A and B are shown apart, each in its own frame.
Chain A
Amino acid sequence: MFELASIALFIAMILVLVRLFSGPTLYDRVLALNSFGTHTVLFIGVLGFLSGRPDFLDIALLYALINFVGTIAILKFFRYRAIGDVRRETPEAEG
Protein backbone atom coordinates (compact mmCIF):
# COMPACT_ATOMS: atom_id res chain seq x y z
CA MET A 1 0.00 0.00 0.00
CA PHE A 2 2.65 2.50 1.00
CA GLU A 3 4.90 1.24 -1.76
CA LEU A 4 2.17 2.00 -4.29
CA ALA A 5 1.57 5.45 -2.82
CA SER A 6 5.28 6.27 -2.77
CA ILE A 7 5.72 5.18 -6.39
CA ALA A 8 2.66 7.21 -7.44
CA LEU A 9 3.90 10.28 -5.59
CA PHE A 10 7.36 9.86 -7.10
CA ILE A 11 5.90 9.75 -10.61
CA ALA A 12 3.76 12.78 -9.81
CA MET A 13 6.81 14.66 -8.52
CA ILE A 14 8.72 13.90 -11.71
CA LEU A 15 5.82 15.10 -13.89
CA VAL A 16 5.51 18.32 -11.92
CA LEU A 17 9.27 18.78 -12.10
CA VAL A 18 9.13 18.58 -15.89
CA ARG A 19 6.56 21.39 -15.86
CA LEU A 20 8.76 23.35 -13.45
CA PHE A 21 11.72 23.22 -15.84
CA SER A 22 9.72 23.80 -19.02
CA GLY A 23 7.13 26.31 -17.83
CA PRO A 24 6.64 29.08 -20.36
CA THR A 25 5.92 31.78 -17.82
CA LEU A 26 7.26 32.50 -14.39
CA TYR A 27 3.95 31.73 -12.72
CA ASP A 28 3.85 28.26 -14.20
CA ARG A 29 7.16 27.62 -12.50
CA VAL A 30 5.98 29.02 -9.17
CA LEU A 31 2.82 26.93 -9.37
CA ALA A 32 4.81 23.82 -10.20
CA LEU A 33 7.20 24.55 -7.34
CA ASN A 34 4.32 24.84 -4.90
CA SER A 35 2.75 21.63 -6.17
CA PHE A 36 6.12 19.89 -6.02
CA GLY A 37 6.47 20.93 -2.39
CA THR A 38 3.05 19.56 -1.53
CA HIS A 39 3.90 16.27 -3.20
CA THR A 40 7.19 16.23 -1.33
CA VAL A 41 5.41 16.63 2.02
CA LEU A 42 3.17 13.68 1.21
CA PHE A 43 6.14 11.68 -0.05
CA ILE A 44 8.11 12.26 3.15
CA GLY A 45 5.12 11.14 5.23
CA VAL A 46 4.63 8.00 3.17
CA LEU A 47 8.35 7.29 3.33
CA GLY A 48 8.21 7.51 7.12
CA PHE A 49 5.47 4.91 7.21
CA LEU A 50 7.31 2.79 4.67
CA SER A 51 10.54 2.69 6.64
CA GLY A 52 8.78 2.29 9.97
CA ARG A 53 10.05 5.59 11.33
CA PRO A 54 7.10 7.99 11.76
CA ASP A 55 9.47 10.66 13.07
CA PHE A 56 9.70 11.76 9.46
CA LEU A 57 6.37 13.52 9.97
CA ASP A 58 8.16 16.31 11.80
CA ILE A 59 10.31 16.85 8.73
CA ALA A 60 7.19 16.80 6.57
CA LEU A 61 5.53 19.48 8.70
CA LEU A 62 8.68 21.60 8.56
CA TYR A 63 8.80 21.19 4.79
CA ALA A 64 5.16 22.28 4.50
CA LEU A 65 5.91 25.44 6.51
CA ILE A 66 9.00 26.28 4.45
CA ASN A 67 7.17 25.56 1.20
CA PHE A 68 4.35 27.99 1.96
CA VAL A 69 6.63 30.77 3.18
CA GLY A 70 8.96 30.22 0.22
CA THR A 71 6.14 30.45 -2.32
CA ILE A 72 4.86 33.69 -0.81
CA ALA A 73 8.39 35.09 -0.63
CA ILE A 74 9.06 34.27 -4.30
CA LEU A 75 5.81 35.91 -5.37
CA LYS A 76 6.50 38.97 -3.25
CA PHE A 77 10.00 39.26 -4.64
CA PHE A 78 8.85 39.15 -8.24
CA ARG A 79 6.06 41.61 -7.51
CA TYR A 80 8.03 44.23 -5.60
CA ARG A 81 11.64 43.24 -6.39
CA ALA A 82 12.37 43.22 -2.66
CA ILE A 83 11.79 40.66 0.07
CA GLY A 84 12.15 42.94 3.07
CA ASP A 85 10.61 46.38 3.26
CA VAL A 86 8.46 47.43 0.35
CA ARG A 87 8.65 51.03 -0.76
CA ARG A 88 5.28 52.71 -0.68
CA GLU A 89 5.71 54.36 -4.07
CA THR A 90 5.54 51.12 -6.00
CA PRO A 91 1.87 50.09 -5.47
CA GLU A 92 0.59 53.64 -5.53
CA ALA A 93 2.38 54.44 -8.76
CA GLU A 94 0.92 51.35 -10.39
CA GLY A 95 -2.53 51.67 -8.93
Chain B
Amino acid sequence: MSISKVLLTIPATVALCLALYFVGTLLVLSLPSLVTGKLFLYSKTLPSLYGSIIISVIAVLIAFVFSVSLVVLVNEFVPRWLGETLSLLIDTLAAFPTVIFGIWGLLVFAPYFQKYVEVPLYLYLGFLPPFSYMPTQPQSALLTGVVLGLMVTPYAAAIIREAYRVLPVELRETVLALGGGKWELVKICLSGIKDAIIGGLTLSFGKAIGETAAVALLIGGRAWFCPLTAPCEAIPSLIVSEIELAMIKPELRSIISGLALLLFVVGAIVLAVAKTLVKRWYI
Protein backbone atom coordinates (compact mmCIF):
# COMPACT_ATOMS: atom_id res chain seq x y z
CA MET B 1 0.00 0.00 0.00
CA SER B 2 1.64 3.20 -1.17
CA ILE B 3 1.70 6.40 0.80
CA SER B 4 -0.29 8.27 -1.84
CA LYS B 5 -3.08 5.74 -1.56
CA VAL B 6 -3.22 6.22 2.20
CA LEU B 7 -3.22 9.99 1.83
CA LEU B 8 -5.94 9.99 -0.82
CA THR B 9 -8.09 7.53 1.09
CA ILE B 10 -8.59 10.11 3.85
CA PRO B 11 -10.62 12.67 1.83
CA ALA B 12 -12.53 9.89 0.06
CA THR B 13 -13.47 8.43 3.43
CA VAL B 14 -14.49 11.87 4.67
CA ALA B 15 -16.72 12.31 1.62
CA LEU B 16 -18.20 8.86 2.15
CA CYS B 17 -18.83 9.66 5.82
CA LEU B 18 -20.53 12.95 4.86
CA ALA B 19 -22.85 11.06 2.53
CA LEU B 20 -23.54 8.34 5.10
CA TYR B 21 -24.13 10.96 7.80
CA PHE B 22 -26.67 12.62 5.55
CA VAL B 23 -28.57 9.49 4.53
CA GLY B 24 -28.28 7.91 7.98
CA THR B 25 -29.63 10.98 9.78
CA LEU B 26 -32.57 11.24 7.42
CA LEU B 27 -33.43 7.57 7.86
CA VAL B 28 -33.02 7.47 11.65
CA LEU B 29 -34.92 10.70 12.25
CA SER B 30 -37.81 9.82 9.98
CA LEU B 31 -38.12 6.21 11.18
CA PRO B 32 -40.64 6.92 14.01
CA SER B 33 -43.08 8.75 11.72
CA LEU B 34 -42.67 6.16 8.98
CA VAL B 35 -43.28 3.20 11.29
CA THR B 36 -46.31 4.71 13.02
CA GLY B 37 -47.62 6.12 9.74
CA LYS B 38 -47.75 9.60 11.30
CA LEU B 39 -46.01 11.00 8.23
CA PHE B 40 -49.05 10.30 6.08
CA LEU B 41 -51.58 10.97 8.82
CA TYR B 42 -50.23 14.49 9.22
CA SER B 43 -52.86 16.68 7.59
CA LYS B 44 -50.49 18.57 5.31
CA THR B 45 -48.41 15.69 3.89
CA LEU B 46 -50.66 14.34 1.16
CA PRO B 47 -51.92 17.75 -0.07
CA SER B 48 -48.30 18.98 -0.36
CA LEU B 49 -47.28 15.83 -2.18
CA TYR B 50 -50.19 16.44 -4.55
CA GLY B 51 -49.14 20.08 -4.96
CA SER B 52 -45.52 19.14 -5.59
CA ILE B 53 -46.47 16.64 -8.28
CA ILE B 54 -48.94 19.01 -9.95
CA ILE B 55 -46.47 21.89 -10.25
CA SER B 56 -43.63 19.63 -11.40
CA VAL B 57 -45.79 18.04 -14.09
CA ILE B 58 -46.85 21.47 -15.38
CA ALA B 59 -43.19 22.54 -15.30
CA VAL B 60 -42.05 19.48 -17.27
CA LEU B 61 -44.78 19.89 -19.89
CA ILE B 62 -43.77 23.51 -20.45
CA ALA B 63 -40.07 22.67 -20.43
CA PHE B 64 -40.68 19.92 -22.99
CA VAL B 65 -42.33 22.25 -25.51
CA PHE B 66 -39.90 25.10 -24.95
CA SER B 67 -36.65 23.14 -24.81
CA VAL B 68 -37.28 20.93 -27.85
CA SER B 69 -38.27 23.90 -29.97
CA LEU B 70 -35.27 25.89 -28.72
CA VAL B 71 -32.91 23.05 -29.63
CA VAL B 72 -34.43 22.67 -33.11
CA LEU B 73 -34.30 26.43 -33.66
CA VAL B 74 -30.69 26.75 -32.51
CA ASN B 75 -29.48 23.82 -34.61
CA GLU B 76 -31.53 24.09 -37.79
CA PHE B 77 -33.03 27.48 -38.45
CA VAL B 78 -30.78 30.30 -37.32
CA PRO B 79 -27.36 31.42 -38.58
CA ARG B 80 -24.41 30.00 -36.72
CA TRP B 81 -23.48 33.12 -34.73
CA LEU B 82 -27.03 33.53 -33.42
CA GLY B 83 -27.17 29.85 -32.52
CA GLU B 84 -23.91 30.19 -30.57
CA THR B 85 -25.21 33.25 -28.73
CA LEU B 86 -28.46 31.53 -27.82
CA SER B 87 -26.56 28.45 -26.65
CA LEU B 88 -24.42 30.63 -24.41
CA LEU B 89 -27.57 32.24 -22.97
CA ILE B 90 -29.11 28.81 -22.37
CA ASP B 91 -25.97 27.52 -20.65
CA THR B 92 -25.75 30.56 -18.42
CA LEU B 93 -29.38 30.36 -17.39
CA ALA B 94 -29.17 26.60 -16.73
CA ALA B 95 -27.33 27.26 -13.45
CA PHE B 96 -28.99 30.58 -12.62
CA PRO B 97 -29.86 31.34 -8.96
CA THR B 98 -33.41 30.04 -8.63
CA VAL B 99 -34.54 32.59 -6.06
CA ILE B 100 -34.29 35.23 -8.79
CA PHE B 101 -36.94 33.36 -10.78
CA GLY B 102 -38.97 33.50 -7.57
CA ILE B 103 -38.74 37.24 -7.00
CA TRP B 104 -39.35 37.95 -10.69
CA GLY B 105 -42.30 35.57 -10.77
CA LEU B 106 -43.87 37.13 -7.69
CA LEU B 107 -43.23 40.84 -8.22
CA VAL B 108 -43.22 41.18 -12.03
CA PHE B 109 -44.80 38.19 -13.72
CA ALA B 110 -47.62 37.26 -11.30
CA PRO B 111 -49.84 40.37 -11.74
CA TYR B 112 -49.83 39.97 -15.53
CA PHE B 113 -50.32 36.22 -15.29
CA GLN B 114 -53.27 36.69 -12.95
CA LYS B 115 -54.89 39.32 -15.15
CA TYR B 116 -54.34 37.79 -18.59
CA VAL B 117 -54.28 34.03 -17.95
CA GLU B 118 -55.89 33.03 -14.67
CA VAL B 119 -58.87 35.36 -14.71
CA PRO B 120 -59.86 34.49 -18.32
CA LEU B 121 -59.42 30.80 -17.49
CA TYR B 122 -61.77 31.21 -14.55
CA LEU B 123 -64.28 33.27 -16.52
CA TYR B 124 -64.48 31.06 -19.59
CA LEU B 125 -63.46 27.61 -18.31
CA GLY B 126 -64.57 28.01 -14.70
CA PHE B 127 -67.05 25.16 -15.06
CA LEU B 128 -64.08 22.75 -15.27
CA PRO B 129 -62.81 21.65 -11.82
CA PRO B 130 -59.15 22.71 -12.35
CA PHE B 131 -60.10 26.32 -13.01
CA SER B 132 -63.05 26.60 -10.65
CA TYR B 133 -61.24 28.75 -8.05
CA MET B 134 -61.61 32.50 -8.37
CA PRO B 135 -58.00 33.78 -8.66
CA THR B 136 -58.18 36.55 -6.08
CA GLN B 137 -54.49 36.47 -5.23
CA PRO B 138 -51.42 36.32 -7.45
CA GLN B 139 -49.90 33.16 -5.93
CA SER B 140 -51.16 29.89 -7.36
CA ALA B 141 -50.18 26.38 -8.34
CA LEU B 142 -50.45 27.22 -12.05
CA LEU B 143 -48.18 30.26 -11.69
CA THR B 144 -45.62 28.16 -9.78
CA GLY B 145 -45.70 25.49 -12.46
CA VAL B 146 -45.23 27.98 -15.28
CA VAL B 147 -42.32 29.79 -13.60
CA LEU B 148 -40.69 26.46 -12.70
CA GLY B 149 -41.13 25.37 -16.31
CA LEU B 150 -39.36 28.48 -17.46
CA MET B 151 -36.67 27.83 -14.86
CA VAL B 152 -35.90 24.27 -15.98
CA THR B 153 -36.20 24.99 -19.72
CA PRO B 154 -32.55 26.06 -20.16
CA TYR B 155 -31.42 23.03 -18.12
CA ALA B 156 -33.41 20.58 -20.25
CA ALA B 157 -32.40 22.39 -23.44
CA ALA B 158 -28.71 22.13 -22.53
CA ILE B 159 -28.95 18.36 -22.06
CA ILE B 160 -31.01 17.80 -25.23
CA ARG B 161 -28.72 20.03 -27.28
CA GLU B 162 -25.66 18.02 -26.23
CA ALA B 163 -27.38 14.89 -27.55
CA TYR B 164 -28.48 16.62 -30.75
CA ARG B 165 -24.97 17.82 -31.41
CA VAL B 166 -23.35 14.39 -31.29
CA LEU B 167 -25.76 12.80 -33.78
CA PRO B 168 -23.71 11.36 -36.67
CA VAL B 169 -23.37 13.77 -39.57
CA GLU B 170 -24.05 10.86 -41.95
CA LEU B 171 -27.62 10.82 -40.68
CA ARG B 172 -28.16 14.38 -41.87
CA GLU B 173 -26.45 13.70 -45.16
CA THR B 174 -28.58 10.61 -45.78
CA VAL B 175 -31.84 12.39 -45.11
CA LEU B 176 -30.90 15.33 -47.32
CA ALA B 177 -29.58 13.05 -50.08
CA LEU B 178 -32.88 11.16 -50.11
CA GLY B 179 -34.61 14.44 -50.86
CA GLY B 180 -35.93 15.13 -47.38
CA GLY B 181 -36.43 18.63 -46.12
CA LYS B 182 -35.94 20.10 -42.68
CA TRP B 183 -39.20 18.54 -41.53
CA GLU B 184 -37.96 14.98 -42.18
CA LEU B 185 -34.53 15.85 -40.84
CA VAL B 186 -35.88 17.19 -37.55
CA LYS B 187 -38.29 14.29 -37.20
CA ILE B 188 -35.52 11.72 -37.64
CA CYS B 189 -33.02 13.58 -35.46
CA LEU B 190 -35.53 13.98 -32.62
CA SER B 191 -36.54 10.33 -32.76
CA GLY B 192 -32.83 9.46 -32.64
CA ILE B 193 -32.37 11.34 -29.36
CA LYS B 194 -35.67 10.26 -27.80
CA ASP B 195 -33.79 8.79 -24.82
CA ALA B 196 -31.93 12.00 -24.15
CA ILE B 197 -35.13 14.03 -24.35
CA ILE B 198 -36.91 11.77 -21.86
CA GLY B 199 -33.82 11.69 -19.64
CA GLY B 200 -33.41 15.45 -19.74
CA LEU B 201 -37.05 15.94 -18.85
CA THR B 202 -36.74 13.43 -16.01
CA LEU B 203 -33.83 15.41 -14.61
CA SER B 204 -35.90 18.57 -15.00
CA PHE B 205 -38.69 16.92 -13.04
CA GLY B 206 -36.20 16.15 -10.27
CA LYS B 207 -34.99 19.73 -10.29
CA ALA B 208 -38.53 21.12 -10.23
CA ILE B 209 -39.78 18.88 -7.42
CA GLY B 210 -36.76 19.69 -5.23
CA GLU B 211 -36.85 23.44 -5.87
CA THR B 212 -37.42 25.41 -2.69
CA ALA B 213 -36.99 29.18 -2.88
CA ALA B 214 -38.97 29.94 -6.03
CA VAL B 215 -41.75 27.56 -4.97
CA ALA B 216 -41.99 28.97 -1.45
CA LEU B 217 -42.41 32.45 -2.92
CA LEU B 218 -44.96 31.56 -5.56
CA ILE B 219 -47.14 28.81 -4.21
CA GLY B 220 -49.12 30.61 -1.54
CA GLY B 221 -48.76 28.14 1.32
CA ARG B 222 -52.22 26.58 1.75
CA ALA B 223 -52.16 22.79 2.01
CA TRP B 224 -55.26 21.40 0.33
CA PHE B 225 -56.22 19.44 -2.78
CA CYS B 226 -56.59 22.60 -4.76
CA PRO B 227 -57.70 23.57 -8.26
CA LEU B 228 -54.87 24.80 -10.48
CA THR B 229 -55.55 28.49 -10.05
CA ALA B 230 -55.66 28.37 -6.23
CA PRO B 231 -52.85 28.85 -3.72
CA CYS B 232 -51.38 25.48 -2.83
CA GLU B 233 -48.48 23.91 -0.93
CA ALA B 234 -45.46 21.83 -1.96
CA ILE B 235 -43.15 19.62 0.11
CA PRO B 236 -40.00 21.83 0.03
CA SER B 237 -41.92 24.96 0.96
CA LEU B 238 -43.79 23.03 3.67
CA ILE B 239 -40.44 21.93 5.13
CA VAL B 240 -39.13 25.49 5.19
CA SER B 241 -42.27 26.93 6.77
CA GLU B 242 -42.74 24.21 9.40
CA ILE B 243 -39.16 23.58 10.47
CA GLU B 244 -39.09 26.50 12.90
CA LEU B 245 -42.09 24.95 14.66
CA ALA B 246 -40.07 21.80 15.28
CA MET B 247 -38.16 23.75 17.93
CA ILE B 248 -41.27 23.75 20.13
CA LYS B 249 -43.13 20.72 18.75
CA PRO B 250 -40.79 17.72 18.96
CA GLU B 251 -43.30 15.42 17.25
CA LEU B 252 -42.91 17.49 14.08
CA ARG B 253 -39.21 16.61 13.79
CA SER B 254 -39.78 13.11 12.61
CA ILE B 255 -42.51 14.21 10.20
CA ILE B 256 -40.33 16.88 8.59
CA SER B 257 -37.44 14.43 8.27
CA GLY B 258 -39.88 12.03 6.66
CA LEU B 259 -40.87 14.71 4.14
CA ALA B 260 -37.21 15.36 3.36
CA LEU B 261 -36.63 11.62 2.96
CA LEU B 262 -39.58 11.48 0.56
CA LEU B 263 -38.00 14.22 -1.56
CA PHE B 264 -34.63 12.52 -1.41
CA VAL B 265 -36.07 9.18 -2.56
CA VAL B 266 -37.88 10.88 -5.45
CA GLY B 267 -34.57 12.56 -6.41
CA ALA B 268 -32.71 9.23 -6.28
CA ILE B 269 -35.33 7.51 -8.46
CA VAL B 270 -35.23 10.37 -10.95
CA LEU B 271 -31.46 10.12 -11.18
CA ALA B 272 -31.52 6.33 -11.57
CA VAL B 273 -34.01 6.61 -14.45
CA ALA B 274 -32.18 9.50 -16.10
CA LYS B 275 -28.81 7.76 -15.87
CA THR B 276 -29.97 4.83 -17.96
CA LEU B 277 -31.29 7.22 -20.60
CA VAL B 278 -28.63 9.91 -20.88
CA LYS B 279 -25.62 7.86 -19.84
CA ARG B 280 -23.64 8.72 -22.93
CA TRP B 281 -23.98 12.46 -22.66
CA TYR B 282 -24.53 13.44 -19.09
CA ILE B 283 -22.21 12.97 -16.07
Bound pair: A and B? no
Q: Which residues of B contact A (CB under 8 A)?
A: none
Q: Which residues of A contact B (CB under 8 A)?
A: none
